[in-house]
Structure 1
């Protein structure tokens, strides 16, 4: 059921401009899938769905040559500023950009990073120590541009 639902999500995102999770939920319901917002959020995380200027999209929609936008494109598109407080980084993003940025960071599995917590426009990045946080801050600032 999960694979079928995620396949339907992929198809809808590729063929239709979806601007809200509720809109996607209703389209899935018409196809026989009853889902909650929490289920959609988990599916979005697993599929690495991000919200761009034209609505929700899959990573492969960005560049036909590279089916994975990775952290570079995600930070370039959504990242605004990085601040450090000891072993913590606060990454400010565009509105609704925190979730895709946190997902991309989690996917990178960088050794300096222990984990992320995302709000709407802010990502808290927890690092093992302040030295790792400083290195990660520099890397992120370079990717933001």
Structure 2
């Protein structure tokens, strides 16, 4: 059975308030198990519209959560991410390497990208490491100092 958009989004919100869901694939599966047809692309759009983010809950488990109005800006999210996920920051010439807690590399890189920092050309993320390419050594040094100040 296919749900109307509003009903589907209400179902998503209900699932997220009752269960720990940490991936779009898992959310799609839970909706399908409830007897409804849904695609990953549709769920992805719903997640954006509902302002659902994947972050650690009070117990430290990564899960999808609905951002409430007035919550973190991109800068606040980045600062919180640096404080909660970074174990080491190292600069080499015009690049910065960041070691994160296990499983946090991609999430923190997304926060860096969302922060639209002027020094950043691009990020490459793995399980627990991020490499940031900066425009110049000066930009890398300034960014390293800023990131380190947030630790």
Task: Report the TM-score, using the length of structure 2 for normalisation.
Answer: 0.71
Q: After TM superposition, what 4+ stretches of structure 1 lie above 3 angstroms from structure 2?
A: 4-10, 12-15, 19-22
Matched, 1:103 2:107: no
Flag the 1:7–1:101 CA change in 2: closer, same or farther, 3 A. farther
Cα deviation, residue 97, structure 1: 0.6
Matched, 1:50 2:54: yes
Cα deviation, residue 75, structure 1: 1.1
Q: How many residues align?
A: 133
Which whole-Å CA distance do the structure 1 matches of 2:116 and 2:66 have between them? 18
Which whole-Å CA distance do the structure 1 matches of 2:22 and 2:52 have between them? 16
Kindly provide the CA deviation profile for residues 21-40 of structure 1, in whole angstroms up to 9, marking residues without a partner as x.
Answer: 5432311433421338xx86
Q: What runs of 5+ residues in structure 1 fail to find an aligned partner?
A: none
Specify which of 32, 57, 61 is matched with residue 37 of structure 2: 32
Flag the 1:14–1:100 CA change in 2: closer, same or farther, 3 A. farther
Answer whether contact 1:84 1:133 (CA < 8 A) is retained.
Answer: yes
Larger radius of gyration: 2
Kindly provide the CA deviation profile for residues 63-115 of structure 1, in whole angstroms up to 9, marking residues without a partner as x.
Answer: x7524452111111111111111111111111111111111111111111111
Which whole-Å CA distance do the structure 2 matches of 1:87 and 1:80 have between them? 20
Q: Which moved more, 1:49-58 or 1:123-132?
A: 49-58
Flag the 1:9–1:121 CA change in 2: closer, same or farther, 3 A. farther
Specify which of 137, 141, 145 is matched with residue 138 of structure 1: 145
Structure richer in helix, relative to its length: 1
CA RMSD of aligned residues (A): 3.1
Match of 2:84 in 1: 77
